[in-house]
Every structure is written in structure tokens, then in C-alpha cells.
Amino acid sequence: MAYNLKEIVANKPPVFVSGHRMCAGCGAPVVARMIMRALKEGDHTVVSNATGCMEVSTCIYPYNSWDCSYIHTAFECAAATCSGAEAAYKALKRKGKLPEDEHTKFITFGGDGGTYDIGLQSLSGAMERGHDMTYVCYDNGAYMNTGIQRSSATPKFADTTTSPAGEVIPGKMQVRKDLTEIMASHHLPYVAQTAAIMNFKDLYEKSEKAIYTEGPTFLNVLSPCPRGWGYPTDELMKINKLAVDTCYWPLYEVVDGKYKITYKPAKKLPIEEFLRPQRRFKHMFKPGNEWMIEEFQKEVDKRWEELLALEAISEQHLVNNE
């Protein structure tokens, strides 16, 4: 369906409103506002929000930045809370206690700490049970709210307070978990990876698909953190673009198991273009540490080639079925 994104952004009443206390240059509020704009006017929404930066900054009693039903829940159970609300809604519908024409959508927001790590069990359970809900991970690559500790979303060699780059270790020693692929392996009807503001059209369209696809859906959204990543607050757009153009964070979707890359850089940039502007990677550019950049590049290239192969298999499958 044709639409004008500028008109939607300018004229559609926001569900995630102003007044939050998120840091300048943070990707999370941009993510929340655009995703909530994908809701159709008149649809009621229940948001379950895991403890984290977004929760502590948007729901400070007696203030609230959510113009919808909002539940703050613990790190480990945001998906379970949302799935319970969705199940209760369905029960009320069956019993005739809610109007037939009443439409409610269920959305969970969690950071990578509350999604990749602490909340993974309840997320996997909610997805496996098939609840009609959308889970959104705003991935800033560490436990930023509690002091920049490493998470399983933290990229290898990143300097954090629990993986400090120094004489003993060169930052985090493990590669980043690929949660988008883990969710795709749950055989969900819709899974997508996108970025905060590198491409508003990509974020908006994937959000709309996720919210209005029946069943459990998952969005993994890169959400840079100026405090934890160490970039100037006015470079949020630049950091997002470099993450995508180096293929560190590919934009793609998986629809009923079929892969489609939604953005392919005309010229794939070397990974150092993404690493260099960030303070958390500055040690990688010291003389003698070139091997770290080379190893990082190999991992990015490997995952990009795997994704291209999955897309090629999906395209061939479509051809064979025509």
C-alpha cells in the first residue's frame, strides 16, 4: 500500500511521546517512536518493557512517555508478561467481555541485556507458544543502564567495565551472539533486523509487518549508545550508517523462513570505518594490534557471506515453486 512516510512522521500522533530522559544521541527513543508510529490509528496497544535504559528513562513516577497501556516488568520476564496479557485478552474476547471490533496489539521492548541474556528464556518460551505479539530488542551492545558491562551482544574486543581493554585482555574475548538467527530458528512468521535511523523507511515497514503479522514476531534493532560506545552525540546517524555499510549490522528479514536482504551497500566499507569513531575500540588502532581489526573483519565477512547464501537459497526455493 502506498504511503508518505514524511506525512506519517509529521502528522500521525505519536504513541511514544516527548519528555523522556534518554541521553542525547541515543538510538533507543528513535526506535520506540518510529515503531509505535507503525500502529494503525484506533488500535489499542499494550507495551511490556523490561528493566533497562528505556524503562528508567521513560516511566519515572509520576511521568510517563507512553500514550498506551504500559507495563514495566523485570529483566527476565518482559516477554512472559506480554504473553500473559495477550492470553488474557484472547480469553476476554472469547467470553464476549470485549467488543468484537476492538483491536489490541501487544509489543515488548527490551535491551540486549534483557533479551540476549537475562530474558532469553521467557522470550524463547513466548515465541514457541505462538502468542500474537511482537518483541523488539533495542540492541546497544552492553548493559548500559548499570555501568556498561559486557553482554552477549557486545562485539569482540569492545572495551567495557567487565571486559576492560588493557595488558591482561584486549577487551571482550568472545564474538557477539547472533540473536536474530536464533529467533529465525524458532520458525516464526516474521523476523527482521534493522537499525535506529539509518533508514526510517526500512524501520517503519518492518515494524508494520511485525506488528500486523499474526503470531509471534521479532525485531532486532541496532540502537547505538553514545555513552557506552564513545561517539559524539550528533553522530548517531553516522554510526548507524557505518554499521550497515560495513555489513557489521545487515538489514534483512525472514518471512516464513525465507531470507531477504533489504539493503546491500553499493560499496561495502572496511570494518575499521565503523570501529574508528568509537572510543570502545580505540585500543585496536594502537601499533601491534592490527590483528584485532583483521580478525574482526573476518568475522563480519563470514556472517555476511552466510547471509547472502541464505538469501540465495530462499530465492532458488521460490523459483522452484513457481
Question: Cα angle at 188 between 184 and 192, to 5 degrees?
Answer: 55
Give me the pLDDT at residue 1, please: 58
Across the chain, what does the average pLDDT equal?
95
| Nine cell digits for residue 310 | 541464505
For the CA atoms of 162, 164, 169, 171, the dihedral, rounded to the nearest 10 degrees, stands at: 90
Cα separation, 18 vs 247, in Å, equals: 32
Identity of residue 310: L
CATH number at residue 259: 3.40.50.970
Q: What percent of the chain lies above the pLDDT cut of 90?
A: 88
pTM of the model: 0.96
The boundaries of the domain holding residue 276 are 5-321
Cα separation, 81 vs 155, in Å, equals: 29
Total domains present in the chain: 1
Give yes or no for a contact between 228 and 140, defined as CB atoms under 8 angstroms apart: yes
Would you place residue 218 in the very low, low, confident or very high pLDDT band (cuts 50, 70, 90)?
very high
Give me the pLDDT at residue 100, please: 83
Give me the pLDDT at residue 164, please: 98
pLDDT per position as a tens digit, 19-30:
899 999 999 999
Is it the case that residue 8 has pLDDT exceeding 70? yes
Q: What's the whole-number mean pLDDT along residues 74-98?
A: 96
Would you place residue 196 in the very low, low, confident or very high pLDDT band (cuts 50, 70, 90)?
confident
Q: What's the whole-number mean pLDDT along residues 265-285?
A: 97
Distances, alpha carbon 202 to alpha carbons 80, 205, 253, 261, 300, in Å = 28, 5, 10, 11, 21
- 3-class secondary structure for 38-94? CCCCCCEEEEEEECCHHHHHHCCCCCCCECCEEEEECHHHHHHHHHHHHHHHHHHHH
Cα separation, 251 vs 195, in Å, equals: 7
When mean pLDDT is compared across 32-41, 107-116, 122-131, the lowest value belongs to: 32-41
pLDDT per position as a tens digit, 138-158:
999 999 999 999 999 999 999
Is it the case that residue 76 has pLDDT exceeding 80? yes
Would you place residue 315 in the very low, low, confident or very high pLDDT band (cuts 50, 70, 90)?
very high
Nearest CA-CA partner of 112 in 159, 83, 144, 81: 144
Give yes or no for a contact between 39 and 45, defined as CB atoms under 8 angstroms apart: yes
